[in-house]
Amino acid sequence: MEFRRTHYTSQVTQEMDGQTVKLAGWVHEIRDLGGIMFLILRDREGMAQLTMFKKTIDPQVLETAKSLSRESVILVEGSVKLEAKAPGGYELVPARIDLLNPAQSPLPMDTTGKVNAELDTRLDNRFMDVRRPRVNAVFQIRHHTLSAVRNFLEQEGFLEINTPKVVATATEGGTALFPITYFDTEAFLNQSPQLFKQIMMSGGMDRVFEIGPIFRAEEHDTTRHLNEATSIDIEASFLDHEDVMQLLENLIVHVYESVAKNCANSLKTIGKELDIPKAPFKRLTYDEAIELNNEHSKELLEWGDDLSTNAEKVIGKVMGEHYFIKDWPTEIKPYYTQPYEDNPELTKAFDMMHPRMELSSGAQRIHDHDLLRQRIQDQGLNPDGFDFYLKAFKYGIPPHSGWGLGAERLVMTMLDIDNIRDVVLFPRDRKRVSP
């Protein structure tokens, strides 16, 4: 059976009046008005209306059309007809409709937007949920977001790398890891590419990035955490933390601009107008952030405290746009962040914040082997487990800096989406491992 299309619905235009095209997709809706029948065909890029006058249409075509269930997959061959009354100014007069695969009835959920479905129902039936134009639009934008990230970083001289997701040791002390069985030894799912991207600074790759999964076995249960997330990670030699902060804010602006430019239809579908942020983002020191919180919040923070969810919200509200918090206390940042030479109480670490939540954190890293080893020890970790990592610092590693940026958080804050699960096809949280 022939099942190749010649066009997506979005590629059919009024200028093609009279031309024959083949469209393939799903039966979105059927509206039978008696003497005239409309069938809406939907594909990834949009919809097209088939119009059949029962008196003049091929009886074979009419019979097929009448027998179709919603969401069945069809191939339609027809001629484009200019018609002011049709949505988009044209319609298709089918000469042939082939049913490629019927859909059972009833459907597990509505695809037309007439009836809501709960998140749980939607995720259980994600294949059908993604057929909904709104959801499809989100994932088209997610694609363009990652594509814009790659373009930007490549332009800045970054090489894309892939680091292992199965690892022998924790990247850092605190975060809980998922243990797995690896032949006869214990192994874990990696929580961050941090150590490996740093090792590649010693490898002389100079500027690297990775877009990949990270795993955290934390039992969190919020609308902004996942146990499997996508991290956009960079590491760059011969740059300090201020340099990579600049890179980060420029990247964010570039992503927003690219999405605004390339995803006009998707944005329209979800009803979102992008506010493109302006670089440079405001910079707050950690001290200023604490002060700001204590000015505006009832929950007071002391120097040395990490920012609570409430503090993030309070400060975010005051700032109102993307901003950085920098110069964090050494004691609450990971062992590999570089302390200021003239004030070791503070590190060259930063967080990049959206008013709603943290998007990224980064720093200049320690490149001195002995100091790094000492810091690992100071944080109560056993340096022996880090031999594979520390070794790379003994034979010439440049000063370097980097950051990790949460891809899901970037998309959800950009599009004003409440729940992080809405920007992941198959989210993994404490309650869900399937589908």
Q: Give contact residues for RNA (rule: CB under 7 A).
A: 29, 31-36, 38, 49, 51, 53, 55, 69-70, 83, 85-87, 91, 105-110, 112-121, 171-175, 192, 194, 216, 218-223, 225, 308-310, 313, 332-334, 361, 404, 418-419, 431-432
Choose between 249 and 422: whose C-beta lies nearer to RNA.
422
Which among 7, 42, 354, 409 is annotated as catalytic? 409
Half-sphere exposure of 44 (CA within 13 A, CB side): 7
Choose between 144 and 354: whose C-beta lies nearer to RNA.
354
Choose between 4 and 85: whose C-beta lies nearer to RNA.
85
190's CB contacts (< 8 A; 6+ apart) are 163, 164, 165, 166, 167, 171, 214, 215
Active site includes 216? yes
| Nearest-approach distance from CB 262 to RNA, in angstroms | 26
Which among 7, 42, 132, 216 is annotated as catalytic? 216
Q: How far is C-alpha 116 from the geometric centre of its chain's CA atoms?
A: 24
Choose between 38 and 178: whose C-beta lies nearer to RNA.
38
Which among 7, 224, 367, 421 is annotated as catalytic? 224
| Nearest-approach distance from CB 191 to RNA, in angstroms | 8
Choose between 36 and 300: whose C-beta lies nearer to RNA.
36
Which among 132, 361, 365, 408 is annotated as catalytic? 361
308, two tokens:
């609570």
Look at the chain and count its residues: 435
30 - beta bridge partners? 39
Choose between 92 and 149: whose C-beta lies nearer to RNA.
92
Active site includes 432? no
Closest CA to 86 of 41, 24, 55: 41
**DSSP secondary structure letters along 326-370:** E--BGGGS-TTBPEETTEEEEESEEEEEETTEEEEEEEEBP--HH
| Nearest-approach distance from CB 431 to RNA, in angstroms | 4
What is the Cα–Cα distance from 203 to 206, expressed in whole angstroms?
A: 8
Which among 29, 83, 172, 218 is annotated as catalytic? 218
Active site includes 361? yes
43, amino acid identity: D
| Nearest-approach distance from CB 170 to RNA, in angstroms | 9
| Nearest-approach distance from CB 222 to RNA, in angstroms | 4
Which among 134, 356, 358, 369 is annotated as catalytic? 358
Q: How far is C-alpha 76 from the geometric centre of its chain's CA atoms?
A: 34
Closest CA to 209 of 362, 325, 397: 362
Q: For 212, list phi and psi in degrees, rounded to 5.
A: -160, 175
Tokens 């958080």 appear where? 409
Residues taking part in catalysis? 216, 218, 224-225, 358, 361, 409
